[in-house]
């Protein structure tokens, strides 16, 4: 609700019937549809914003004497929404003038293949969705308590040195899926982790001291980061711990040729372990690559190599494990939609960076005092930093709400990290556990966890992608809903740009550049559902209100299923 400091006429807000806020408003404000119309005058003070749901091809009036950021969106998505992940033509601009066109921005997007880790992870998530949808898998059930309800002292924990057999995926493809039996010896028992090492471990791998340090790191640092944020997984095997199996079977999932071209699979979680399948290990298990400095299985991997790679993979995969176990095993629901599940896992990787950023405030822990991130955080940052930059180069081409894990592309993954990080900043970290510990999925899950309509969230999130750090403005002047609280996006991407001066993939210091709207020519363009487009309209020299329409080409109404809406932010003078 608006408080006494909101500088906007009550009559204007009543006419808009929309979400308006100023710099001191953080509470959710519901959207009312429809809200755009000939009498809807948008009279905002600098650094104020409003989101209007425009479903009838109608228009809004902007007050003169100001410059505006105008961000149309299709606030929809989800694999069960019936909306396709294809560009939707639209028109935006001043009513009654000739139309110009804006080239589809998809041709400008940076492209690169997914890493072998991403490919394999996506295949596993997609495979489990298909198996659940076709009832190929029979789940063990939700009768087991979650790990938070199990007292570790009462849990059945085997002795160090004891042996256990595991069913492990064999080969470098899932197209013809086969399993083999691998035997692990229990090498470390922690408060949260049971670490097994394959008895066929390659030579010259972990020393005894390295193995203990490895187990301690995952048990005392990494595991608590995910559990504190997302909540506990299930505990099907009643041992109050997640099993970590370090095995050359994981190395073998990548051929030497794939390793050279695409990287390697560092680790994975497999939903089959929650089923009654003959190949299920019936427990919460993370499978990890093993040191192989002589390259006897695939690429050569030293202990140091894996120490830089597996931690982020563990945080990523443990989120998938928690998410799957809570949605499917505990709550008996469907697997989380891929875009949200993957966004949460990328956010999980960032937790590792945040831990070391807090441990080593600048300039400590850095090879160069100018580094934004300490050396120990480097292995956790690339997933969110690079991919979000590429998303912001052309956000209108990459939906954040319509992708499944198995779909190619990294830009949408960067967009999902931005959304999930912003959402945690806005609502607090407890929202992540709320998103996990439920049977809801997709936009319905986000809406319930946030306690407000998805449209109002997408509107302010979209604005925040540009208004997070407006040049020349103190961050405190920007409404809390329209900026990130724990990241400075312009600082992040400026440093990325500075560190890659000759790299064509990083063409500018801030990747997002709004197109220009004029009072003489509306623009015809397209964008995919579940993402925004960005425009700036300068009315500082105008003497009268200017009517803006967001519609289908020719002025027709946009489909209501797209949930079309426009966010407007008055930029500072």
Q: What is the pLDDT of residue 12?
A: 34
Cβ atoms 144, 446 nearer than 8 A: no
Residue 107 inside a domain? The answer is no
Higher-pLDDT residue of 156, 478: 478
Mean pLDDT of 421-444: 96
Residue 104 inside a domain? The answer is no
Shared domain for 55 and 143, answered yes or no, is: no
Cβ atoms 387, 395 nearer than 8 A: no
Q: What is the pLDDT of residue 319?
A: 98
Q: What is the pLDDT of residue 154?
A: 52
Mean pLDDT of 60-74: 92
Lowest mean pLDDT among 106-110, 200-204, 434-438: 106-110
Q: What is the pLDDT of residue 140?
A: 86
Residue 11 predicted with pLDDT over 60: no
pLDDT in tens, 105-120: 443 444 556 788 888 8
Mean pLDDT of 143-165: 69
Confidence of residue 28 (pLDDT cuts 50, 70, 90): very low
| Per-chain mean pLDDT for the chain | 86
Residue located via tokens 């400095």: 293
Residue 553 inside a domain? The answer is yes
pLDDT in tens, 403-430: 877 676 778 999 999 999 999 999 999 9
- Torsions phi, psi of 378, nearest 5? -60, -35
Contacts of 153 (CB under 8 A, 6+ apart): none
333, two tokens: 């629901």
Question: Per-residue DSSP letters for 81-110?
Answer: S---SS-EEEEEEETTS--EE---GGGGS-
Contacts of 383 (CB under 8 A, 6+ apart): 312, 316, 346, 349, 350, 413, 417
The helix-helix angle for 303-324 and 378-393 (nearest 10°) equals 60
Domain boundary among 387, 415, 449: 449
Q: Report the distance separating Cα 210 and Cα 225, nearest Å.
A: 22
Shared domain for 363 and 292, answered yes or no, is: yes
Residue located via tokens 């119309």: 37
Residue 149 inside a domain? The answer is yes
Residue 390 predicted with pLDDT over 90: yes
Going 53 to 59 to 61 to 67, the CA torsion angle's sign is positive
Shared domain for 75 and 169, answered yes or no, is: no
Shared domain for 424 and 481, answered yes or no, is: no
Q: Report the distance separating Cα 451 and Cα 426, nearest Å.
A: 12
Q: Report the distance separating Cα 292 and Cα 521, nearest Å.
A: 62
Shared domain for 445 and 456, answered yes or no, is: no
Q: What is the pLDDT of residue 174?
A: 58
pLDDT in tens, 487-521: 999 999 999 999 888 888 899 999 999 999 988 88
Domain boundary among 449, 472, 488: 449
Cβ atoms 292, 300 nearer than 8 A: yes
Shared domain for 505 and 442, answered yes or no, is: no
Work out how many domains the chain is built from and give that number: 2
Mean pLDDT of 358-381: 94
Residue 370 predicted with pLDDT over 90: no
Indicate the burial class of 162 (C-beta count within 10 angstroms; 0-12, 13-18, 19 or more).
exposed
Q: Reduce the DSSP state of residue 535 to 3 states and report it.
A: strand
Helix (H) or strand (E) holding 185: strand 178-189
Lowest mean pLDDT among 111-120, 338-347, 518-527, 560-569: 111-120
Q: What is the pLDDT of residue 31?
A: 36
Q: What is the pLDDT of residue 57?
A: 66
Percentage of the chain modeled with pLDDT above 70 = 85
Residue 17 predicted with pLDDT over 60: no
Q: What is the pLDDT of residue 538?
A: 95
Look at strands 19-21 and 49-53 and give their pairing: antiparallel
Residue of 344, 280, 336 lying closest to 317 (CA atoms): 344
Q: What is the pLDDT of residue 536?
A: 96
Q: Report the distance separating Cα 569 and Cα 21, nearest Å.
A: 10
Residue 247 inside a domain? The answer is yes
Residue 5 inside a domain? The answer is no
Shared domain for 86 and 162, answered yes or no, is: no
Return the C-alpha torsion angle 410, 415, 420, 424, nearest 10.
Answer: 130
The distance from CA 475 to its chain's CA centroid, rounded to whole angstroms, is 24
β-pair partners for 94:
548
Shared domain for 21 and 73, answered yes or no, is: yes
Cβ atoms 450, 430 nearer than 8 A: no
Going 477 to 475 to 12 to 554, the CA torsion angle's sign is positive
Q: What is the pLDDT of residue 358?
A: 97
Residue 108 inside a domain? The answer is no
Higher-pLDDT residue of 71, 85: 71
Mean pLDDT of 458-484: 94
- Torsions phi, psi of 550, nearest 5? -115, 115
Residue 111 inside a domain? The answer is no
Mean pLDDT of 303-313: 95
Residue 466 predicted with pLDDT over 90: yes
Residue 37 predicted with pLDDT over 90: no
β-pair partners for 74:
564
Shared domain for 241 and 353, answered yes or no, is: yes
Q: What is the pLDDT of residue 18?
A: 43
For residue 202, what is the DSSP state? P
Shared domain for 386 and 493, answered yes or no, is: no
Residue 416 structural domain: 116-449
Residue 184 predicted with pLDDT over 50: yes
pLDDT in tens, 322-338: 999 999 999 999 999 99
Domain boundary among 449, 470, 495: 449
Residue 567 predicted with pLDDT over 90: yes
Top mean-pLDDT range of 149-153, 221-225, 232-236: 221-225
Question: In 2-139, which ranges are continuous DSSP H helix?
Answer: 10-16, 116-133
Q: Report the distance separating Cα 56 and Cα 40, nearest Å.
A: 14
Q: Report the distance separating Cα 357 and Cα 365, nearest Å.
A: 9
300, two tokens: 């050569």
Q: Report the distance separating Cα 319 and Cα 456, nearest Å.
A: 27
Shared domain for 38 and 122, answered yes or no, is: no
Shared domain for 285 and 342, answered yes or no, is: yes
Lowest mean pLDDT among 16-25, 176-185, 242-251, 303-312: 16-25
Q: Report the distance separating Cα 102 and Cα 107, nearest Å.
A: 12
Question: Per-residue DSSP letters for 398-419?
Answer: S-SSS--TTS--SHHHHHHHHH
């Amino acid at each position: 609700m608006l408080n006494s400091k909101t500088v906007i006429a009550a009559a204007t807000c009543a006419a808009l019937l929309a979400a308006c806020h100023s710099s001191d408003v953080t509470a959710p404000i519901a959207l009312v549809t429809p809200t755009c119309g000939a009498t809807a005058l948008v009279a905002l003070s600098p650094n104020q914003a409003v989101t209007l749901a425009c479903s009838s091809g109608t228009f809004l009036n902007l007050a003169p004497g100001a410059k505006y950021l105008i961000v149309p969106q299709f606030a929809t998505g989800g694999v069960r929404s019936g909306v396709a992940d294809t560009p939707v033509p639209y028109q935006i601009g001043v009513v009654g003038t000739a139309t110009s066109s804006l080239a589809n921005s998809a041709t400008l997007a940076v492209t690169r293949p997914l890493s072998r880790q991403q490919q394999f992870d996506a295949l596993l998530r997609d495979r489990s969705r298909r198996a659940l949808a076709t009832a190929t898998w029979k789940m063990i059930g939700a009768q087991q308590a979650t790990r938070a309800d199990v007292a570790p002292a009462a849990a059945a924990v085997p002795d160090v040195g004891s042996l256990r057999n595991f069913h492990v995926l064999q080969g470098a493809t899932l197209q013809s899926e086969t399993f083999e039996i691998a035997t692990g010896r229990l090498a470390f028992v922690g408060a949260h982790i049971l670490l097994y090492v394959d008895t066929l471990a390659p030579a010259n791998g972990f020393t005894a001291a390295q193995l203990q340090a490895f187990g301690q790191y995952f048990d005392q640092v990494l595991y608590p980061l995910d559990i504190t944020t997302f909540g506990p997984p299930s505990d099907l095997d009643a041992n109050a711990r997640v099993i970590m199996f370090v095995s050359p079977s994981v190395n073998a999932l990548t051929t030497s040729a794939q390793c050279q071209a695409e990287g390697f699979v560092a680790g994975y979680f497999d939903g089959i372990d929650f089923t009654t399948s003959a190949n299920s290990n019936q427990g919460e298990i993370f499978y990890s690559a093993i040191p192989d400095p002589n390259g006897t299985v695939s690429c050569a991997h030293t202990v140091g190599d894996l120490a830089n790679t597996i931690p982020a993979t563990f945080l990523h995969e443990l989120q998938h494990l928690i998410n799957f176990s809570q949605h499917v095993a505990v709550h008996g629901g469907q697997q989380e939609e891929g875009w949200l599940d993957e966004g949460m896992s990328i956010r999980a990787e960032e937790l590792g960076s945040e831990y070391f950023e807090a441990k080593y405030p600048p300039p400590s822990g850095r090879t160069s005092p100018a580094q934004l991130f300490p050396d120990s955080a480097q292995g956790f940052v690339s997933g969110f930093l690079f991919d979000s930059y590429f998303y912001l180069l052309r956000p209108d081409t990459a939906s954040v709400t319509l992708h499944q894990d198995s779909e190619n592309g990294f830009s949408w993954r960067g967009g999902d990290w931005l959304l999930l990080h912003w959402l945690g900043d806005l609502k607090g970290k407890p929202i992540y556990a709320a998103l996990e510990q439920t049977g809801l999925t997709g936009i319905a899950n986000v809406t319930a966890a946030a306690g407000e309509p998805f449209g109002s969230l997408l509107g302010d999130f979209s604005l925040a992608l540009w208004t997070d750090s407006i040049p020349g403005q103190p961050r405190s002047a920007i409404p809390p809903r329209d900026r990130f609280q724990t990241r400075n996006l312009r600082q992040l991407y400026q440093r990325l740009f500075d560190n890659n001066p000759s790299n064509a993939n990083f063409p500018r210091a801030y990747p997002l550049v709004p197109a220009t709207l004029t009072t003489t020519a509306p623009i015809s363009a397209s964008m995919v559902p579940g993402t925004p487009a960005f425009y700036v309209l300068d009315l500082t020299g105008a003497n009268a209100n200017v009517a803006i329409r967001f519609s289908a080409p020719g002025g027709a109404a946009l489909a209501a299923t797209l949930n079309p809406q426009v966010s407007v932010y008055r930029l500072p003078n």
